[in-house]
Amino acid sequence: MSTEPILGLRTVVYPAPDLDKLKAWYTAVLGVAPYFDEPFYVGFDVGGYELGLDPNADPMLGPITLWGVGDADRAIEALVGKGATPAEPVHEVGDGIRIGTVRDPAGSIFGVIENPHFALPADPPAADGPGR
């Protein structure tokens, strides 16, 4: 089984049951306005990473971390092959961006994001070293 390399952290999505209130709070905390602001999702660029607010996300699940990959389908398949349990199937969320999630062996949600707007590195990250 081939492994889809994890390219690094990309996005953390917080549940936002009161989207306007949380958008105002995060704007004040981060000191920047969202770059993407729609009733279904608000996105902030924070140092090259995305902090997202999702009014449809379940607050009981907490934030979802999405790790960048080149191919979301292959990544989910590889994670399941290594013992993860499928959670949310890979699906497009707009503009060619595809996400999916699994649960790791401890039950935590592990998300992947295939985003054609993030530049892919020329070479995948090394398999060893800090953070790898």
Task: Examine residue 88 and state whether it is found in any structural domain, yes or no.
Answer: yes
Q: What whole-number distance in Å separates Cα of residue 6 and Cα of residue 117?
A: 16
Task: Examine residue 13 and state whether it is found in any structural domain, yes or no.
Answer: yes
Mean predicted lDDT score pLDDT of the chain = 88
> Of 59, 25, 57, nearest to 44 (Cα)?
25
Long-range Cβ contacts of 32-37 (<8 Å, 24+ apart): none
Task: Examine residue 39 and state whether it is found in any structural domain, yes or no.
Answer: yes
**What local confidence, expressed as pLDDT, does residue 117 receive?**
80
Q: Is pLDDT above 50 for 131?
A: no
Task: Examine residue 18 and state whether it is found in any structural domain, yes or no.
Answer: yes
Which pLDDT tens digit goes with each residue over 59-98? Answer: 998 999 999 999 999 999 999 999 999 999 999 998 899 9
Q: Which domain holds residue 89?
A: 8-114
Task: Examine residue 131 and state whether it is found in any structural domain, yes or no.
Answer: no
